[in-house]
Amino acid sequence: MLDEFAVGGVRTNLAFLRRIIAHPAFADAELDTGFIPRYQANLLPPSEALSDAFWQTAAIAWHLSTPARVRHDDPHSPWSGANGLRLG
């Protein structure tokens, strides 16, 4: 049934669904919300170690996503002077 599907251009979970319907417990209708966690060793491919390039990219992305810290010794910062100015 799932072998009739052909999808191009995007990643799908068809291979995962094929492994589910090919599993003996699925054929025996042993179905509940714990099916995937219980049989994940058979259903999911083994995880591979992430490459150094992945970790380097993740570190750069994390660094770029952290907000810049306000320096209190910056003379151009509105927070550096306590001149009594009140807004509002």
Task: Please give the full DSSP string across 54-82, using - where no structure is assigned.
Answer: HHHHHHHHHHHHSPPPPPTT-TTSTTS--
Cα 77 to Cα 25: distance, rounded to the nearest angstrom: 65
Mean pLDDT confidence for 37-63: 92
Residue 18 and residue 46 in contact, taking contact as beta carbons nearer than 8 Å: no
> What is the pLDDT at residue 48?
87
> What is the pLDDT at residue 79?
66
70: confidence class by pLDDT, cuts 50, 70, 90: low
Judged against a pLDDT cut of 80, whether residue 69 lies above it is answered with no
* pTM of the predicted structure, to 2 decimals: 0.49
